[in-house]
Structure 1
């Protein structure tokens, strides 16, 4: 049995698993290799692959790791909220299960957070295996005009900032939900994620509410974090796509002034779900080829 650690760690890292695959082991190993005072809360949304249980057995003597098991898949935001309710750290780092965290990156994220008194959320530039940055690391609110610009490939006016990623901390409207560092008091003051999102767009919602509450959202442009392709997206593409579109509709209804116009809102609703339906055949075809 691991020795109970009663000290307050600097950081609580929260990872949500949902049949996340072997990359989850690498994520956990990378976090626990960091020397920052931390705890890792791994919350499992009813995975069937047995990997969270295997990690628990392999790390049974490491008091920094705590496993939380859900009987059903609660969704991403609700799972994070339940883990955060048990967190003891001064700060909370929400990390995707296919991310690899290095000590230098973690130290820099904490430095950026500590340097700005009104910093409510700090993100990083997430990169693929080749080191190519994900444009979604540095985002604007996805209001209707920007969402349409992104859909029609007008990058300069879209949701994601066009051009090269910054190499220094900058203010952003939103950052990637794959890596989100917050003071725990800020997360708690906002009641965490909006649990009416199941998967996707809850990160955009949280960034917006951080700003609306008077805090700053920052992108640590000089921090790169490796981010793979999620297991859930590969194995359940239609399920993930459905909840992505559902999240897009919820964000629009909550925050976009265009939603106040009933006819325009109806057109957006039709557009969102038509876009989802058009994508389904190709998603099923790719799934059948795996």
Structure 2
């Protein structure tokens, strides 16, 4: 790991053919009012987005580029970025997010309020300001996942046993302890990140944020969301350009999480049924996702 520079906030942004949104993200981070660095990790982009960013910020020493020879996946790329980052606070930010100018100051103020904080989430919003899904999440156990997929989770206010994975948008009040937060903007003190060994590199894309939150909690830290801090997210540029690729890895990630953490995975019959169910769900999505990809390619 790199030397720990107290007071420096390290933003880690992973790019993989992220398009024009990447430039907007980098512009916003470098405009943040605080001591910071931006580690841009490139997963073998070929769309020219990295070159455009370098041309625009060639004179800014706070921007550091790490090029990977291939697309290593999100978690592995984050780990490599964190390994050369110098700050004592790490902010993993999606390349289609826009950071507000006071982001670093507000995050550090919140972290300083509780030394037990291991993961801090924010109120991620759509570009129009509407709170996005997934800001406050519960662990995706089999029971909760079934309640969500079946629609029964809509009845959880009356029957708590039917609670699903998703929680309603966070009220903009005090810091709230939750089981997991959105991976679009994940904030960790370096000490917590190193304590758990960073992201599990067995995930390529999706569910690695849930895994990280779980292991941070298991290590005795607190996972919380500060909904007073808002970050706009364009919601999945990669998902729109490569929907089948992203969906396949999302289902792989869910399977890995299930086998690592859900007690139901110890039952051989349930294990088989869940595996079949996950991939049946993917297969059912294939025609629609393929059509979506063809429509985008035709534009």
Structure 1 position 47 matched with structure 2 position 49: no
Task: Measure, in 1, the Cα distance between the counterparts of 2:282 and 2:5.
Answer: 48
Task: Measure, in 2, the Cα distance between the counterparts of 1:12 and 1:112.
Answer: 16
- TM-score w.r.t. the length of structure 2 is 0.92
Task: Measure, in 2, the Cα distance between the counterparts of 1:106 and 1:225.
Answer: 12
Displacement of 1:125 after TM fit?
Answer: 1.1
Displacement of 1:8 after TM fit?
Answer: 5.7
Structure 1, unaligned runs of 5 or more: 1-5
Of 231-240 and 100-109, the range deviating more from structure 2 = 100-109
| CA 1:9–1:41: 2 relative to 1, 3 Å | farther
Task: Measure, in 1, the Cα distance between the counterparts of 2:271 and 2:166.
Answer: 23
Moved over 4 A (4+): 6-9
Task: Measure, in 2, the Cα distance between the counterparts of 1:212 and 1:50.
Answer: 41
Aligned-partner SS, 1:204 = helix
Structure 1 position 183 matched with structure 2 position 181: no
Aligned-partner SS, 1:56 = helix
Aligned-partner SS, 1:117 = coil
Which residue is equivalent to 1:165?
A: 170
Task: Measure, in 2, the Cα distance between the counterparts of 1:178 and 1:234.
Answer: 16
Displacement of 1:57 after TM fit?
Answer: 2.2
Displacement of 1:22 after TM fit?
Answer: 0.4
CA contact (8 A) 1:42 1:68 kept: yes
Task: Measure, in 2, the Cα distance between the counterparts of 1:135 and 1:287.
Answer: 23
Task: Measure, in 1, the Cα distance between the counterparts of 2:54 and 2:69.
Answer: 17
CA contact (8 A) 1:19 1:231 kept: no
Displacement of 1:104 after TM fit?
Answer: 2.5
Of 204-213 and 128-137, the range deviating more from structure 2 = 128-137
Displacement of 1:106 after TM fit?
Answer: 3.1
- TM-score w.r.t. the length of structure 1 is 0.95
The equivalences for 1:118-197 within 5 A come to: 118-153=116-151, 154-155=153-154, 156=156, 157-162=163-168, 164-168=169-173, 169-197=175-203
Aligned-partner SS, 1:142 = coil
Task: Measure, in 2, the Cα distance between the counterparts of 1:34 and 1:247.
Answer: 33
From 270, 276, 286, the counterpart of 1:280: 286
From 11, 26, 29, the counterpart of 1:28: 26
Displacement of 1:107 after TM fit?
Answer: 2.1
CA contact (8 A) 2:213 2:223 kept: yes
Which residue is equivalent to 2:114?
A: 116
Task: Measure, in 1, the Cα distance between the counterparts of 2:97 and 2:7.
Answer: 21
CA contact (8 A) 2:33 2:105 kept: no
Task: Measure, in 2, the Cα distance between the counterparts of 1:128 and 1:105.
Answer: 17
Aligned-partner SS, 1:14 = strand
Deviations 1:166-213 (A, max 9, x none): 212100100000011111121112110000000000000000000000
Displacement of 1:9 after TM fit?
Answer: 5.2
Of 204-213 and 217-226, the range deviating more from structure 2 = 217-226
Deviations 1:121-176 (A, max 9, x none): 100111111211112000000000111111122243111113x4221210010000
Displacement of 1:244 after TM fit?
Answer: 0.2
Task: Measure, in 2, the Cα distance between the counterparts of 1:126 and 1:59.
Answer: 26
Which residue is equivalent to 2:93?
A: 95
Aligned-partner SS, 1:103 = coil
